[in-house]
Structure 1
Amino acid sequence: MRRRILFGEHATQAPAIARFIDRTRFEPSFADLAHADFAPFDLVVPLSIAQIEAARAANDDGRRRAVLPTPELVALCDDKLACNQWLIAHGFAAHVPALLGPEPDSYPYIRKSRHGDFGAGCIMVPDAAAAAALEPIDAHSFHQRAVAGADEYVLHLLRIDGEIRFRLCYRYDMGTPLAVRGGGARAKATVPADAALALPLCSAILDVMAYEGTCCFNYKLEGGRVQLLEINPRFGGSLVGEVSAYLQAHFAALDPIAP
């Protein structure tokens, strides 16, 4: 019997999931989760941060259809400045590029929006001339040391009942050392990568958070050390190609005796 999966609507991820999912095992549907009837489905997967709160209702009848981080952890990870400050306060400062003041005098640095996906609101500042052209910073943004390097990594993780149940790592080749990956700068290549350096760190962070559900860590390597760029408390776009393995890991954790 095929498992029925309800995904949230998403302009790019939904069509990709529909293309890659193994339909011999899974029957996908896509809907506005705020108005969905969850009863017919075996699993509910939000595809954006905005959909997570609505997805919580999938468990209201006592059946565990969605594994989701707490509202407090969603808010923490969604605020990039607050998340960096949390990491520093909880012993992970060595893996956080230095936070800078409102008028940094060392370059390169990046001005980051506290909220937003896919590079929105992020500006790379390579030198004093570029800094002089910027508007004064406001409370919605912050400055952070830029980590140079053309390679950026993403580690997708699923944690259920305190254990990592699924992991998938990719390396993005950005082509230039100071690119801001997002709408204006896309990877030249995306290839599978070894998560060995980052997995112990990322697992330790999730342990301290007591995080449950899906997330992805974006990071670079500097001198062999992981430098965290952000933690996204959601399904990441580059996970779509392995969505069937991700779903199977869900069911293996939630219903281990099922075939």
Structure 2
Amino acid sequence: MATDGGVAVLLTGVGKRYDIVSAFAEHAFTIAADPSPLAPARYAADLDVYPPRIDDPGYVPFLQELVAEHGVVAVVPLTDLDIEVLARADLPAFVPDPGVCAATYDKYATHELLLGHGLPSPPTVLPGEEPGSYPVMVKPRRGSGARSIHAAADRAEMDFFVSYVKEAVMIQRLMDGPEFSIDLLCDMGGRCLNAIPRTMIESRGGESIKGTVIDDPELVELGRAVGEALPARGPCTVQAFRDAETGLGITDVNTRFGGAFPAPMYAARPGLTYPELIVRMARGETLDPHVGDFAAGHTFTRYFWQLELDAGQRPTGRDIVPNGPRPPL
């Protein structure tokens, strides 16, 4: 439990996000919730717990008991799976309204939502409709981690992949040009506090592992516009391409932290990292927007490390080299 005037934060679905849990633990008593005992990020928290599955009727009551017991003032999901569940629950969750959560979990609904707000989204149709041009991407409507996404050069390939993918899909223009992500944070009233764009140098499984924070006012404004139009509450990640023919087009919106969490951490001004801002908002502070105020040029490159667990699945404290990872030279 938080003491000495501190606050408690509950992070759900922590998985491998050791970086995010560690960052919050610098500023608040941090509780990590994940049903897997092998989720490594749980070991970076002050307290780790094993909730029921998200589809279990006991999931929300379990979280509510944690909130009451530990004085939790912010619940922050780290996966897509429970965002809408948290939005519908009586919890201090940093998530949008349930309708926004539902729409952004369905990529075709996201496309329609963006167009309804006058925001750019690539031409997109459903199976049975003819796309305006080829090539296209056949994508699951509720896919994640770049699962089952296939490029199709013509009608025959499109029809094949629509049949091949065993879930509901949509067909979207294959965007030319570079891909970007914009990491933004909104307050609980939907005001964008900051929007930090980055390149997508390399991604694996839909998660960025290399990228550079860039000074791009058009992308900053796009991120702010998306965050305030939805509106988002808490972290949000916007993915977009800059197509040589059609210009900017948003291909995904995730109302949570993105995979490239290090980028806004390195680029944020001192005292203005997103975990710090969330903790300050949870304390009741009203924050001034500082959209576009960040340090561009920082590049991140992510790598693997691991924990050794004993027979009781607790960390042994032993590492593969003394004192952990060797400092960069």
**Residue of structure 2 in register with 1:46 after alignment:** 77
Change (3 A) 1:133 1:59: closer
Asked if the contact 1:120/1:182 (under 8 Å) is kept, the reply is: no
Q: Which consecutive segments of 4 or more residues in structure 1 shift more than 6 A?
A: none
**Residue of structure 2 in register with 1:204 after alignment:** 225
1:111 is aligned to 2:132: no
**Residue of structure 2 in register with 1:99 after alignment:** 124
Equivalent pairs counted in the alignment come to 242
1:155-234 equivalence runs, <5 A: 155-160=182-187, 161-174=189-202, 182-183=204-205, 189-223=210-244, 225-234=247-256
Q: Report the TM-score, using the length of structure 2 for normalisation.
A: 0.62
Alignment RMSD, CA only?
3.3
Does 98-107 or 190-199 show the bigger shift? 98-107
1:235 is aligned to 2:266: no
Distance, in Å, in 2 between the alignment partners of 1:22 and 1:75 is 27
1:21, CA displacement in angstroms? 1.6
Asked if the contact 1:108/1:124 (under 8 Å) is kept, the reply is: yes
Distance, in Å, in 2 between the alignment partners of 1:135 and 1:162 is 37
Change (3 A) 1:225 1:194: farther
Percent of aligned positions with the same letter in both sequences?
21
Change (3 A) 1:25 1:122: same
**Residue of structure 2 in register with 1:5 after alignment:** 9
Unmatched runs of 5 consecutive residues or more in structure 1: 175-180
Highest RCO, 1 vs 2 (Cα 8 Å, sep ≥ 6): 1
Amino acid of the structure 2 residue aligned with 1:38? V
Matching residue within 126, 138, 144 for 2:172? 144
1:25 is aligned to 2:53: no
Residues 111-149 of structure 1 deviation map (CA, whole Å, 9 limit, x = unaligned): 011102121232122456744653537871111111123
Asked if the contact 2:84/2:102 (under 8 Å) is kept, the reply is: no
Change (3 A) 1:88 1:257: closer
Residues 200-222 of structure 1 deviation map (CA, whole Å, 9 limit, x = unaligned): 23323333333323211001112
Does 48-57 or 190-199 show the bigger shift? 48-57
